[in-house]
Structure 1
Amino acid sequence: MTMQKQRTTSRTGSTAGTGPAAAVRLADVSVRFRSKKRDVTAIGDVSLDVAPGEFVAIVGPSGCGKSTLLKLVAGLLTASSGEVLLGGEQVTGPRHDIGYVFQRAALLEWRSALRNILLQAEIRHMEPASARERVDDLIRMTGLTGFEDAYPHELSGGLAQRAATALALIGDAPLLLADEPTTGLDRDLVERTVDELRRHTDEGRALLIITHDLAAAERIADRVAVMYAGRIVEIADAAPFFGAPGPRHPYARGLLDALPERDFAPIPGMPPELGALPDGCAFAARCAYADARCTDERPAFASDLACHHAPTGRTHPLKEAADA
């Protein structure tokens, strides 16, 4: 990846968010529901802490539970088990003290882009002059100049997403949630948008972002959480994850190897459906290192990793033996 890193803070270890001051805490959270006469575990036993001033990127294949996790934090869904805490307070319903960039721009159709953003400032009781100054800055930052008076139906998908990002950034919310905030943006606007998100955390606010844009995640994230089939399978500091020694979980390593600037070798096969998960490791059918233990026993999440073959280090004994 060629994007210059813009991280201005440093985190030591993937437990940076632990302790009573964690902005977000997910503790053994699961979400289960019944669909088409079968039980579906959309999220299974997920634990994750995010500290104030920390930027955590969640990556993984489509349909693995990433958006569900974000909705849990926002109070838009209720956990079947486990706890979701914001600033030590249990989440029991929708929260109004967070910023949220939805996967699809959530704008009021009868208000212009400018008036959509200003409405958020009014809701947050911002002083009018300072609110307008902040809105003008965000319009420039998101590339909305010239489209301030356009209504949502007059905006392209990318422009609407820029307006939604500006709307989420207008206040001083201690937590920002972003679901694919760079969708539909060209590379220059991606960089400007993620840099503004990075500045948001540098001011002491926490950010939890879902993205398929690994270059953007590398540019500004402190840590990376990798999801697969409803579970977090690895949490790592961003610098060693994207650099050396690299990811520990076979899926995470394959995710990076599939990039055009790397091996450009996609992982064969498809993830299992959440309603038909195997008893063992959900990645076993696609993993070159899988053995009988993988197919029979689901790996526990320990030391920020859920994998039978790399519990302590970043190498895979089976591959080393095969290469010997």
Structure 2
Amino acid sequence: MVNELVLDRVSVRFSLPGATVAAVNDVSLRIRPGECVALVGESGCGKTVLASALLGFLPGNAETAGRATLSSPSGAVDLLAASDHELATTIRSRRIGLIPQSPASHLTPVRTARAQLDEALRVHRSGQTADQLAGRAGLTPDDIDRYPHELSGGMAQRVANALALAGDPWLLIADEPTTGLDRHLVDGLIEEFRRMVDDHRAVLLITHDLAAAQRIADRVAVMYAGRIVELGPTRKVLDTPHHPYARGLRNALPDRDFTPIPGQPPLLTDLPPGCSFAPRCERAAPLCAERPFLTDDEHAAACHFPC
């Protein structure tokens, strides 16, 4: 059995007084070592909720459905059914590493980066040293002797990368890692992720930065209102998108038409039964009252009238 993550109709609901938030809806996706998959879409579409579900970081009012099977030579586990103890002792940082949003805010402010790396290595009983781990993330020994407030944004990002690698996971989930970084820092981060992929790891890049996704990802999954509406090779999805929403995202880029998508996403407490994008789509027709599904094609779109 090889390393892979297979999501099969994963859904996440949040129960609120008088309402249910359908944050993730029937998401199916496969990720293998040696590839970067970018999960893109507007803020609030469910990208971070999906990552939180895989690592068991959902709040108590969340309910999940479907399966998220993480396989390895030692066996397989359904991440959605696993206990918090199992996730903490065998999954988090060991098989799946997380690079969180705003990494500097996740570092302990009163301890040096070296101290935090040393602790992570002790927990994972790794044979590496902090200097070796830092070197894999592009840091020098002097860099990690600093406190978080002494680190630049790019250096804090690299410390987060190093912490995510402490348990030698094959899969890294990077949640909006380019937000707030200068262009040269984004360039360096993309190079680091490609090195990880070349090292036969996998990266799930959660982002709204299509330019970054285009540079690093092998495949792109476009998410809208909790559903994947298009999936395929990066060049095909971004150059010749089939779903009107994916085309709208591309056309909103400054180097394209710079035209925003009209309208607003639907309320996740009141999703339409058919295509969630239909109220904003100029191609909508009566058939769109029925929900479209992704096919098994290499480049697929959940749309009755693809572009």
1:275 aligns to what SS in structure 2?
coil
Q: What is the TM-score of this pair, normalised by structure 1?
A: 0.81
Preserved contact between residue 118 and residue 132 of structure 1 (Cα < 8 Å): no
Q: 1:162 Cα shift?
A: 3.7
CA deviations on 1:26-46 (whole Å, 9 max, x unpaired) are 111111121242011111111
In the alignment, the residues of structure 2 paired with residue 50 and residue 285 of structure 1 have an alpha-carbon distance, to the nearest angstrom, of 32
Secondary structure at the counterpart of residue 192 of structure 1: helix
Q: Percent identity?
A: 48
Distance 1:147 1:205, change over 3 A: closer
Please give the alpha-carbon distance, in whole angstroms, between the structure 2 residues aligned to 1:157 and 1:40.
Answer: 34
Task: Describe how 1:189-208 pairs up with structure 2 within 5 A.
Answer: 189-208=185-204
Q: Which runs of 4+ in 1 moved over 6 A?
A: none
Partner of 2:7: 26
SS of 1:177 mapped into structure 2: strand
Distance 1:47 1:79, change over 3 A: farther
1:287–1:48 distance in 2 versus 1, CA, 3 Å: same
Which residue of structure 1 lines up, in the alignment, with residue 131 of structure 2? Answer: 132
- Counterparts of 1:160-239 in structure 2, within 5 Å, are 160-239=156-235
Counterpart residue type for residue 41 of structure 2: G
Amino acid at match of 1:113: A
Match of 1:72 among 30, 53, 57: 53
Query: What corresponds to 1:118 in structure 2?
Result: 118
Residue 109 of structure 2: aligned partner: 109
Q: Distance in 2 between matches of 1:133 and 1:66?
A: 32
1:1-324 map, 5 Å: 21=2, 23-77=4-58, 80-87=64-71, 88-91=76-79, 92=82, 93=84, 94=87, 95-96=91-92, 97=94, 98-105=96-103, 106-129=106-129, 131-140=130-139, 147-155=143-151, 159-243=155-239, 246-294=240-288, 296-303=289-296, 304-310=300-306, 315=307
**Amino acid across the alignment from 1:284:** A
* AA matched with 1:58: L
Q: How many Å separate the matches in 2 of 1:203 and 1:147?
A: 24
CA 118–136 in structure 1, closer or farther in 2 if over 3 Å, else same: farther
One-letter identity of the residue aligned with 1:301: L
Distance in 2 between residues matched to 1:232 and 1:21, nearest whole Å: 25
C-alpha deviations, 1:241-268, integer Å up to 9, x for none?
233xx11110001101111111111111
Deviation at 1:217, TM superposition (A): 0.9
Alpha-carbon separation, structure 1, partners of 2:233 and 2:111: 41
Q: 1:137 to 1:47 in 2, by over 3 A?
A: closer
Q: 2: CA distance between counterparts of 1:252 and 1:22?
A: 30
> Are the aligned partners of 2:252 and 2:258 in contact in 1 as well (CA < 8 Å)?
yes
Structure 1 residues 28 and 37 mapped into 2: Cα distance closer, same or farther (>3 Å)? same
Q: Which has the higher strand share?
A: 2
Q: Alignment partner of 1:239: what SS?
A: helix
Q: What is the count of residue pairs matched by the alignment?
A: 285
TM-score between both structures, scaled by the size of structure 2: 0.85
Q: What one-letter code is carried by the residue in structure 2 that aligns with 1:249?
A: H
- Secondary structure in structure 2 of the residue aligned to 1:32: strand
Relative distance call for 1:302 and 1:137 in structure 2 (3 A) is closer
Alpha-carbon distance, 1:175 to partner: 1.1
Change (3 A) 1:184 1:169: farther
Check the 8 A contact 2:134/2:159 in 1, yes or no. Answer: no
Q: What SS does structure 1 have at the residue aligned with 2:8?
A: strand
Letter in 1 for 2:119: L
Compute the displacement of 1:117 (Å): 2.7
Task: State the Cα RMSD in Å.
Answer: 2.2
2: CA distance, partners of 1:49 / 1:21: 13
Name structure 2 gaps, 5 residues minimum: none
CA separation in 2, counterparts of 1:22 and 1:283?
Answer: 34
Aligned residue for 1:8?
Answer: none
Shift of 1:120: 2.2
Change (3 A) 1:165 1:186: same
